[in-house]
Amino acid sequence: LSSLPISAMIRSAREKSRIMAEVGRLDSEENEQGINENNRDFYRLQLRNSIVEHNISVVGKFVSQIELAQLCSVLRLDEEEVVAFITEIVNEKYGTIKINQPEGLVDFGAKKMSDKVDNLLDKIVEACNLIHQDSMQ
């Protein structure tokens, strides 16, 4: 699957944080690469799931909160499918997303700094304070 031209397009979209549309020209490329009928449905499902997960993460990079109906519109999926994808993302710990179904909101949460980076910054501040105290003496 990685040798398909579509794979290059997907890698490019992931690097540039773009929303991807589902790809409709798979048939000719699958035939060129020799993907048989048995594997075709599996690859299409994997590709579709990967595209939807990518699109959810792209939306999360640009907004902290969005209405569920708007997210469904962007992803071109119904509400049940979107909720299922978000549940999968949260269960697999790929992201922290909360759904407020009574209000119809999806909250991507505040962007949290990594614990390691946070600890490193604390140590830098502490070192700067020690240097400043030493220079004052």
Q: Give the 3-state secondary structure of residue 64.
A: coil
Q: CATH number of 5-110: 1.10.240.10, 1.10.10.10, 3.20.20.70, 3.40.630.10?
A: 1.10.10.10
Where do the domains of the chain lie? 5-110
The full DSSP string for 22-47 is: PP--HHHHHHHHT--HHHHHHHHHHH
**pTM of model > 0.75:** no
CB 88 within 8 A of CB 48: no
Q: What is the model's pLDDT at position 1?
A: 44
Residue 57: DSSP 8-state:
H
- The CA-CA-CA angle for residues 55, 61, 64, to 5°, reads 110
Encode pLDDT of 118-136 as tens digits.
Answer: 788 888 999 988 898 888 8
Please provide residue 17's backbone torsions phi and psi, each rounded to the nearest 5 degrees: 55, 55
